[in-house]
Amino acid sequence: MFLKFFKIITMLIFLTTSLKAEQIKVFEFTEEELKTIKVRKVRNAKAKTIYTIGKNEKGNYLKAEANNAASGLGKEIKINLNITPIINITWKVEKDLPGINEGSKKGHDFAARVFVIKKTGATPLSNRAINYVFSSNNDVDHTHPNPYTNKSVDYVLSSTKKNLNKWVTVKANVKEHFKKFHNLDVNQLNGVAVMADTDNSKLSSVSYFQNIFFSSE
């Protein structure tokens, strides 16, 4: 009886450990990946953001340099939010965008942002998104509607007010946020994108992205 009980407990511990270790990596940030990933230039932007690959002691990273520019890198990827609802992001802003009103059309720029996207219709315009941003002017947990569309919400996960030119690791419960901000029960995401843009403010920024993944906790 004890042996059987011990085996059951061992299996439960193994299953619990496996669930805790559940991770879905979104980007590899390699030269090979950069060649195949979708680059989307923002309409009316004068230039594209320059993305390059680098490496440090923690692995590969993506460097984004935006000079009056705007373009993003997107990946179609299915994420089961019932299993891995937590997005994890490691990023850094070396040069930020102080003094702009990020909630306005003229100031809606971010040195670093990560979009999570849910398809809710036949066209991209019908998609819903949460835009996790590294703000240059607002505090962490500040939110505001996207000034261009009511189908996207800006959520500040990091701020240069406290972490300028410092690597920061943050996380957020995407499933809960879709319910809170869009009133949607989302079981599966359809895409993730990174972006640095300065086309509205006409300024310049430098930022870095590393180790973006989804986890169970």
List the single range of 6-20, 71-85, 108-122 with lowest mean pLDDT. 6-20
Spell out the domains of the chain, with CATH numbers in brackets: 24-215 (2.60.120.260)
List the single range of 32-41, 135-144, 159-168 with lowest mean pLDDT. 32-41
Assigned token pair, 166: 């410092």
Q: Which residues contact 105 (CB under 8 A, 6 or more apart)?
A: 147, 148, 200
The type of residue at 3 is: L
H helical segments located in the chain: 2-20, 31-36, 160-163, 174-182
- Three-state DSSP at 180 gives helix
Got the DSSP string for 92-155?
EEEE--TT--TTSSTT--EEEEEEEEE--SSSGGG-EEEEEEEESSS-TT-EEE-SS-TTEEEE
Assigned token pair, 191: 């895409």
Average model confidence (pLDDT) for the chain?
88
Interval 2-13: pLDDT, tens: 333 333 333 333
Interval 151-162: pLDDT, tens: 999 999 999 999
Within 13 A of 48's CA, how many CA atoms are on the CB side? 9
